[in-house]
Structure 1
Amino acid sequence: MPALPARDLGDGCDVGMTVDYFGGHDFSASLLGSETRNTNSLTWFHGMHDLGAFDRNGGIRASGRIMPTVTGMHRLHIGGTGSVRLVVDGRQVFAAERDIPASDVMGALKSGDSDHVEVLLEAGIPVLIEAELRYTPARAHGLWFGLGVPNDAATLLAEAEAIARGADAVLLLVGETADAGVESKDRDTTAIPLDQQELAARVIAANPRTIVAVNVGHAFDTRFATDAAALLAVWYPGEAFGPALAAVVAGDLEPSGRLPVALAASEDQYPALHATPDADGRLPYAEGIGIGYRGMITAGIRPAFAFGEGLGYGRFTYVAATATTRSDHCVDLVVTVRNDGSRDSAAVVQAYRTDGPLAGFAKQVVAAGSTVDIHLVVNPIALRRWSGNRWVFASGPTTLRIGGSSLDLPLSVTVAFD
């Protein structure tokens, strides 16, 4: 819900929070400046605007009035790079003293961790919310806060089911909140949140013609959407996401991207999850290049969706491939591809070394029913190996496998350099 500034600063801003900056931990004096900010996530690098660097103790207070629309327990969140405090109508409802070393401030800032407390608010009765941060010298600082309104999850899920059951088809967006996938925080699972999984399961059961769009920025567990009609990995899109997604679902545009990671069939397939430091904190990288999708290939593991995999509106047959070597150790590939589908579609031809790594790729739209030659160049960097503390090129013949993903490679060519 929108907040109204606690004070009118004469800046023409009638929505947001009044942010006050103090030159110490005592908020009763030393006010350095104020501004209105219409955001609940405040971050400063190297200092506060023209108020100077973070080279001494200081404090920040964000205050604003909100008008609850429902009566019930509201969840207030707060986090920051120092000691934080929440005040509601002059009453402290939460406080946490934290002494974060300057060397750890960036980690705290990027992790986005927060605490929460539940407060009873009544509909139609405005309240003053104050979020405070007391910090010590560091290169950057941040204060973030939020308000969650009461909701009845069972009722919302039942409403979603009813809507899905009555629809011809469903487009369901699931994923994570903005503070769930962040830097400076380890991830213990690739699964999306449990409430999102339950929503998907119930909607898909109510209407099997459900397209699930997963809005996360990492490899994710796909088992929750096994019975969906289609699965879209949309990553973290930009401001034109809505119209672009609508155009793809309507068939006006083709979803022509390919996976930049492998999506495992189960989490124990990810090599990285088995990389654990020993008792002395050492983590030897003995796997060589066998990490990520290459580690799965090395171990003979078949993921749910392979690196490089992705469907569009065409169906491609890889007919033939030829290779020509150059004096600069580049390889020119010509791959003949046929689109057996009824629509024009983008083919993404991929070439891999026999030990797993991607060596090169090229993308080209192929008209429905036509056969074309697609040209791609394999850079010599993709063919070299580290041996004897230096990069070397393999002596003798080198084989490249070619196809539509790291596990769909029907063609191969063998080259040798003089």
Structure 2
Amino acid sequence: MIRKHDSLIHQILAREIPQYVIDERIRNILNFIKFGIESGIPANGKEDEDNNTAETSAFIRQLADDAIVLLKNENSILPLKPEENICLIGPGAVERRTTGGGSASLNSYYHTSVADALKKKLGHDVPFAMGSLIAKNLHDLGEVVTNPKGKGFDVKVYKESFDVPEEKRTLLENYSIDVSNLLLFDYDPKGCENSTYYMQLEGDLTPDKTGEYSFREQCLGTAQLFIDGKLVIDDKTKQGLSSGIFASPISSPQIVNVKLNAGQKYHIKVEFGSGMTFTARKDSAALVTDSASILNFGYIFHKTDEEYIEEAVELAKKSDKVILCVGTSLDYESEGFDRSEMKLPGNQEELVSAVLKVNKNVIIVNQSGTPVSLPWIDNVPAFMQAWFNGMEAGNAIADVLYGDVNPSGKLPLSYPKRVEDNPAFLTFKSNNGQCVYGEDVFAGWKFYEKRKIAPLFPFGFGLSYTDFTIDNIATKLDGENLEATVDVTNTGKVTGKEVVQLYVVPPKTTTAVDRPLKELKGFAKVELKAGEKKTVKIEVPYKYAASYFDVDANQWHAEKGEYGVLVGDSSSSEKFLESTFTLEKDELWSGL
């Protein structure tokens, strides 16, 4: 990830990067520029919200509805009924869970929380307890402060430092932002020198309750936080050194507790110097770019973990059913780094265990991009995997909880029982700079099948509020395609969608290479009313269905022989429909 001119020149001169690779990359950049010009979008055009329409929201909500996977629903505890006495517990109920971190994130037009969605659906607030904190940077101050221009912080970027009187500083940029966690790896305001600039963020905070609040700050650069003009965090005159993402350095966390009164307006100001001012800076090779800067600061009403859990337990005692929202966040799942463990962050595992002791009717809603450990899953009657589902995430969760939408999502991965079961467990990390991809073709669910390790929830699995049967398989080779048809019937009482999945088994005569026991090659999603039956056809090019990559030939190899065809509702269907097709000769081919 080193994006530096001198490093690249060194690699070219050392012949680590051939000239043709540089040419290919430049050609891709030029093609991208050509695409941008032909799009008709003006260069440096002003952002707008022309696509923030009711139609856009409805489409994104449908995508989120369809993506939710119901993994457990004992005794049909779901869907809920509006008249039931419920409560809402967990950080995921109120915090933003739209995307993962790094390049997996972007600013959405808005976001919906589970708490707000349930209030809108039921017409009243649902009793809520936080139960646990997981945000590394606490709550984002940008979401709650205001400035004379509106919501968020008023930001002024200067060429000169804050030691220079404001009237003598050169203003480079002025805008508003609604976040206080800033990853500024390529931010280089026009007019600054040597990637050095000074950013002032100002906004007014009005707490809704009196008490002690924790403020936290970290930066790659220098920063000072003021409340009503009083310096409360000084991450400038003396900095400790910690590690950030992409192997970049960052200052040690600064945490301070401040007493605030409900309804009183407090002026928040942060004075930040870019990464070039970092006093605890390591050598520049540790940075992703010379212009790299990071500023993270947030706040939270101060309570101990025990107090948060105790509050949640007391609320659960008073409720018939508990919706417990757990999960990760962009602090833990990002494009730029891997998770270090499967355990839920913070004290969420302890929170669930404590709530289960006083109320057995717990519905777990997990918002994460990848599996998490579930040590209490046998004692939980309902479990929903809700992912990071975009700006309509909260509404989609409420839709499925109350049966306005029948869940139809299927797992795109396996949910292991423990982290040690993962196929990459032994070779996950670098050994003195060497990385081994030991899974080979047995990545994910194909590893579990080969090793006969039962996952907690298998690839392709997902429940519905209705039932389906799949019957009458027929397969044939039709020109370039393998074609399979089955009859799907909704045998339940409500409309629902089923995902029919087609797996191909390699010939028993295969000896040249080790192949998975079966591979997913096609699927189709069908919606059926109660009692309705439809014939579903799945087509896939036979080359894709049969081939493996032949390293010796450096081509794809469709091997002759008899292939098995399995059609079901997951990779571990209780009753697969079986068929076969035969290739009469070997075929080598390149390209996709």
Q: TM-score over 0.5 for the alignment?
A: yes
Secondary structure of the equivalent of 2:154? strand
Q: Any idea what the Cα deviations from partners look like across 1:222-259, whole Å, max 9, x if unmatched? A: 33333222111010122223332222112221110000
Q: Which residue, out of 469, 483, 486, partners 1:317? A: 469
Measure the CA separation in 2 of the matches of 1:54 and 1:327. 64
Alpha carbons of structure 1 residues 15 and 315: separation in structure 2 relative to 1, 3 Å: closer
- Shift, 1:391, TM fit: 0.6
Q: Which residue, out of 136, 145, 149, partners 1:13? A: 149
Alpha carbons of structure 1 residues 325 and 58: separation in structure 2 relative to 1, 3 Å: same
Kept after mapping to 2: 8 A contact 1:82/1:99:
no
Alpha carbons of structure 1 residues 129 and 151: separation in structure 2 relative to 1, 3 Å: farther
> Does the alignment pair 1:365 with 2:527?
yes
Secondary structure of the equivalent of 2:466? coil
Matched with 1:399 is 564
Measure the CA separation in 2 of the matches of 1:347 and 1:113. 50
Matched with 1:386 is 549
Deviates further, 188-197 or 62-71: 62-71
Matched with 2:579 is 413
Mapping of residues 212-291 of structure 1, within 5 Å: 212-276=364-428, 279-291=431-443
More helix as a share of residues: 2
Q: Which residue, out of 257, 261, 275, partners 1:135? A: 275
Alpha carbons of structure 1 residues 311 and 113: separation in structure 2 relative to 1, 3 Å: farther
Deviates further, 55-64 or 383-392: 55-64
- Shift, 1:56, TM fit: 3.0
Kept after mapping to 2: 8 A contact 1:353/1:359:
yes
Alpha carbons of structure 1 residues 45 and 279: separation in structure 2 relative to 1, 3 Å: closer
Mark the runs of 5 or more structure 2 residues left unpaired by the alignment: 1-140, 277-288, 506-516, 585-592
Q: Which residue, out of 331, 335, 350, partners 2:486? A: 335
Measure the CA separation in 2 of the matches of 1:253 and 1:197. 29
Measure the CA separation in 2 of the matches of 1:125 and 1:241. 31
More strand as a share of residues: 1
Matched with 1:375 is 537
Q: Which residue, out of 298, 316, 331, partners 1:146? A: 298
Alpha carbons of structure 1 residues 294 and 236: separation in structure 2 relative to 1, 3 Å: same
Matched with 1:8 is none
Q: Any idea what the Cα deviations from partners look like across 1:300-336, whole Å, max 9, x if unmatched? A: 11100000000002223332311111231x2100123
Secondary structure of the equivalent of 2:461? coil
Kept after mapping to 2: 8 A contact 1:318/1:403:
yes
User: Normalization by structure 1: what TM-score?
Assistant: 0.85
Alpha carbons of structure 1 residues 116 and 180: separation in structure 2 relative to 1, 3 Å: farther
Measure the CA separation in 2 of the matches of 1:143 and 1:260. 35
Kept after mapping to 1: 8 A contact 2:196/2:273:
no
Secondary structure of the equivalent of 1:273? coil
Q: Any idea what the Cα deviations from partners look like across 1:12-36, whole Å, max 9, x if unmatched? A: 5154333231225564264324444
Q: Which residue, out of 251, 258, 264, partners 1:120? A: 258
User: Normalization by structure 2: what TM-score?
Assistant: 0.61
CA RMSD of aligned residues (A): 3.2
Matched with 2:127 is none
Kept after mapping to 1: 8 A contact 2:215/2:298:
yes
Measure the CA separation in 1 of the matches of 2:453 and 2:392. 37
Secondary structure of the equivalent of 1:274? coil
Matched with 1:351 is 502
Measure the CA separation in 2 of the matches of 1:367 and 1:160. 40
- Shift, 1:358, TM fit: 1.1
Q: What amino acid sits opposite 1:340 in the alignment?
A: T
Secondary structure of the equivalent of 1:272? coil
Kept after mapping to 1: 8 A contact 2:185/2:292:
yes
Q: Which residue, out of 173, 180, 198, partners 1:40? A: 180
Kept after mapping to 2: 8 A contact 1:25/1:134:
no
Deviates further, 188-197 or 232-241: 188-197
Q: What amino acid sits opposite 2:528 in the alignment?
A: V
Measure the CA separation in 2 of the matches of 1:297 and 1:95. 52
Matched with 1:206 is 358
Measure the CA separation in 2 of the matches of 1:122 and 1:372. 62
Measure the CA separation in 1 of the matches of 2:429 and 2:369. 26
Secondary structure of the equivalent of 1:157? helix
- Shift, 1:76, TM fit: 1.9
Alpha carbons of structure 1 residues 134 and 302: separation in structure 2 relative to 1, 3 Å: same
Mark the runs of 5 or more structure 1 residues left unpaired by the alignment: 6-11
Matched with 1:3 is 145
Q: What amino acid sits opposite 2:145 in the alignment?
A: A
Q: Which residue, out of 337, 341, 345, partners 1:193? A: 345
Deviates further, 210-219 or 59-68: 59-68
Deviates further, 261-270 or 160-169: 160-169
Q: Which has the higher contact order (CA 8 A, sep 6+)?
A: 2
